Amino acid sequence: MLGQYWEAILLLALIGTLWNLLAFALLAPRMIKNYWFQRGIGDYGQSMGMVAMGLLLIRVADPQNRSDALTAFGYKQLLFEPVVGGGLFTSASMPLIAQLGAGTILWVVGLVMIYWLILGFNLRRKL
């Protein structure tokens, strides 16, 4: 059954990987003031699969723990995990899509993403 949709799955995987790479290369240096690479690589690893990958990449990029990347990653997780990382939105996404439609949810999460991007850039300027 899954094999029938291999083109769509491959396309989603490629677009997701490209988005993650672009976010790491273009957004992280502009949004993270100190140690952007070490902190950004952790977020990249998490977005590519799991928290453990993000932590592993931070340890590879900063083996002596000279940056604040591990601490910043941990604090971010306090907000991220309950909401999106297997939390409230993740569990509610399928019922919301069934109730409101995929297009509506796409617009809503797109607007939420734009909000967080604007907030991130504005906070970066203030720090």
Whole-model pTM over 0.85: no
Q: Which domain holds residue 121?
A: 2-126
Confidence (pLDDT) at 127: 60
Query: Sign of dihedral through CA atoms 81, 82, 87, 88?
Result: negative
Task: Tally the domains of the chain.
Answer: 1
**Segments in the chain forming alpha helices (H):** 6-22, 28-31, 36-47, 51-61, 69-83, 88-100, 102-126
Q: List the chain pLDDT tens, one digit each, 127 residues.
A: 778 899 999 999 999 999 999 999 999 998 888 899 999 999 999 999 888 999 999 999 999 999 989 999 999 888 888 877 777 888 898 999 999 999 999 999 999 989 988 988 888 776 6
